[in-house]
Homo-oligomer: A and B are copies of this chain.
Amino acid sequence: MNPMLDVAVEEARAGLAEGGIPIGAALFASDGALLGRGHNRRVQDGDPSLHAETAAFRAAGRRRDYRSTIMVTTLSPCWYCSGLVRQFGIGAVLVGEARTFHGGHDWLAEHGVTVTVLDDERCVGLMEEFVAARPDLWFEDIGEVR
């Protein structure tokens, strides 16, 4: 059980229930307070800029200092979302799984971000089923042309 990851998983499931891509994220303060949560909204809003991490970051509003914050995401962050973490100096990233997609988390670790990669079966299951069912949406979401 990981209550921070549980919030991100809830977000991923909410996205799936809306017909969207099941990736969720949440930004927490170091004391465990939730700052913002969100999920991928490409399908729901027709908005390619709202990945789960950017949705959670947006929901947290304007802040001056992210060094002690923790970004929790169900899936390894893509370059776009990894760039977000690096630019804003988010101190730690908790990744639900990196089995179905390996994004930029190694790069973040090299640049001083505390990265923890779990291998959460719920997260793996959500992505495996979704990618099998809707590969078109998944590849669109990561800009992969097939």
* A65 proximal to B (CB < 8 A): yes
Partner of A49, one of B42, B57, B145: B57
| 9-residue interface stretch from A1-9, A85-93, A120-128 | A85-93
Binding site for B on A (CB under 8 A): 42, 46-49, 54, 57-58, 60-67, 78-84, 86-89, 104, 140, 142-145
Taking a contact as CB atoms under 8 Å apart, the answer to whether A80 and B87 are in contact is yes
The residue among A48, A54, A89, A142 with the most chain B CB atoms within 10 A of its own CB is A48
Residue of B nearest to A90 (CB): B143
Contact A145/B83 with A46-B61, A48-B57, A140-B62 known, Cβ cut-off 8 Å = no
